[in-house]
Amino acid sequence: MLTIADRLDKIPFILADSKFQSKEGLGNELNFHVFDYNPDEELLVQDFILELPERMLRVNTMKQIQIFNLYQIVIHFFERKKYIEKNFLMEERDGSEQLFNRMRSALKVATAQDEIVKYITENIEEDTIVIITGVGAVFSLVRSHVILNNLQTVVENRPLILFYPGVFCNGTLKLFGVFEDKHYYRAFQLVER
């Protein structure tokens, strides 16, 4: 069994491989991958992601990565709409469940106007490898399988890696190893455990 350090060390080499970048061997499937890890390894994974651009240079690839943190995207949305203070007041007045429902509604999660997907669409750069992080921080507000489904047409011609604090096995996403998400069959395991 590989340690988290061993698994993370493999990632730059995988991403630099031209076969990975061109979807070779995926049978015409999307180039979507999940890197699952134990939630208690979150800080190690976050540090690795920050170092990933430099590590990519060390393996002699010119391929750029672009990191989208779901939590930061959600915060950016509510700051831009000037909803942060209103959200605190609403929670105080109406309770957490009401706030949660209103936040999901404002983000239009799982609709054609999904604000997270819209943000990624507006900010994605050409010819990059897309990295999605922050899954655990937005848990229950945003579901991983929904984001992956909604990104299929946006990111269809490039690799996407979802860093997932939980278990991804046989198409099943299980956040924190506890909360089962719906199946997502179109992704592949990036590095076996």
Mean pLDDT highest for which of 37-41, 98-102, 140-144?
37-41
Give the tens place of pLDDT for each residue, 59-73: 877 688 999 999 999
166, 143 Cβ separation under 8 angstroms: no
What's the CA gap between 104 and 171, in Å, rounded? Answer: 25
**Residue 179 pLDDT more than 70?**
yes
Q: How confident is the model at residue 27 (pLDDT cuts 50, 70, 90)?
A: low
- Say whether pLDDT at 33 is over 90: yes
Q: Which of the four pLDDT bands, split at 50, 70 and 90, describes residue 107? A: very high
175 pLDDT more than 80: yes
Q: pLDDT by residue (tens digit) across 138-164?
A: 988 888 888 888 888 888 778 999 999
Task: Please report the pLDDT score of residue 10 as a whole number.
Answer: 96
In which band, very low, low, confident or very high, does the pLDDT at 183 lie, cut at 50, 70 and 90?
low
Average pLDDT score over residue span 159-173:
91
Helix (H, G, I), strand (E, B) or coil at 128: strand
Higher pLDDT, 85 or 29: 85
Count Cβ atoms below 10 Å from residue 91 Cβ, excluding itself: 16
DSSP state of 36: E
Q: Give the 3-state secondary structure of residue 61.
A: coil
Q: What is the pLDDT of residue 18?
A: 86
Alpha-carbon dihedral angle through residues 8, 10, 12, 18, given to the nearest 10 degrees: -150
Element of type H or E holding 168: strand 160-169
pTM of the complete model: 0.90
Question: Which ranges constitute the DSSP H helices of 18-83?
Answer: 18-21, 42-58, 70-80
With a pLDDT cut of 90, the percent of the chain lying above it is 52
Looking at residue 140, its pLDDT comes to 80
- Residue 37, strand partner residues: 165
> Which comes out higher in pLDDT, residue 28 or 174?
174
Average pLDDT for 84-111: 89
Instruction: Among 12-21, 105-114, 183-192, name the most confident range.
Output: 12-21
Percent of residues in the chain assigned helix, strand, coil, to nearest 5: 45, 20, 30
CB atoms within 10 A of CB 171: 14
The mean of the pLDDT values for the chain is 88
